[in-house]
């Protein structure tokens, strides 16, 4: 049995294949996922697993250099936005590097998911609970 934190074979595999600047999306249950992009569907029912649960596990094994959010999260889901900023701050301390935070429109966000290595779908049912993670390097 795998000893690391990520037990899901698809999630573990996609993280292990990421190269510098490759992107990985963690999303809510409602984000449209392009047919051309690998979908890793973890959603079981509304709210299970939560967006933050999935993001927390993914970022334990992924080196992140940039996080991209939809600008709309600031107004339409401010509590999750603050939680995300706190998570990124903790991740920076753990990784020992600065993580750039960028904002784009939700429409652009949806288009950018087509370029990601995969989209990991959570069971989250709150607005704009989506993030694009850009892979960094550990050296």
Q: Summarize the annotated binding site for substrate as residue ranges.
A: 28, 106, 128-130
Binding residues: 28, 106, 128-130
| Whole-Å CA distances, 35 to 25, 72, 111, 113, 116 | 14, 24, 12, 10, 12
Q: How many CB atoms lie within 10 A of CB 75?
A: 10
Burial of 130 (0-12, 13-18, 19+ CB in 10 A): buried
Of 20, 35, 81, 94, which one is the catalytic site residue? Answer: 20
User: Which residue in the block uniquely carries the two structure tokens 């250099």?
Assistant: 65
| Whole-Å CA distances, 79 to 9, 45, 82, 120 | 31, 22, 5, 22
31 touches 121 (CB < 8 A): yes
- 20 is annotated as an active-site residue: yes
Active site residues: 20
């Amino acid at each position: 049995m795998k000893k690391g934190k990520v037990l899901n074979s698809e999630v573990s595999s996609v993280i292990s294949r990421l190269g510098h600047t490759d992107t990985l999306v963690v999303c809510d249950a409602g984000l449209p996922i392009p047919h051309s992009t690998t979908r890793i569907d973890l959603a079981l029912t509304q709210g299970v697993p939560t967006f933050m649960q999935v993001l927390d596990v993914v970022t334990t094994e992924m080196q992140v250099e940039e996080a991209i959010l939809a600008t709309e999260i600031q107004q339409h889901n401010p509590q999750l936005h603050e939680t995300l900023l706190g998570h990124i701050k903790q991740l920076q301390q753990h990784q020992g590097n600065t993580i750039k935070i960028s904002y784009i429109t939700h429409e652009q966000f949806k288009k950018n998911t087509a370029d990601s290595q995969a989209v990991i779908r959570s069971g989250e049912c709150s607005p704009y609970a989506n993030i694009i993670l850009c892979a960094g390097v550990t050296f």
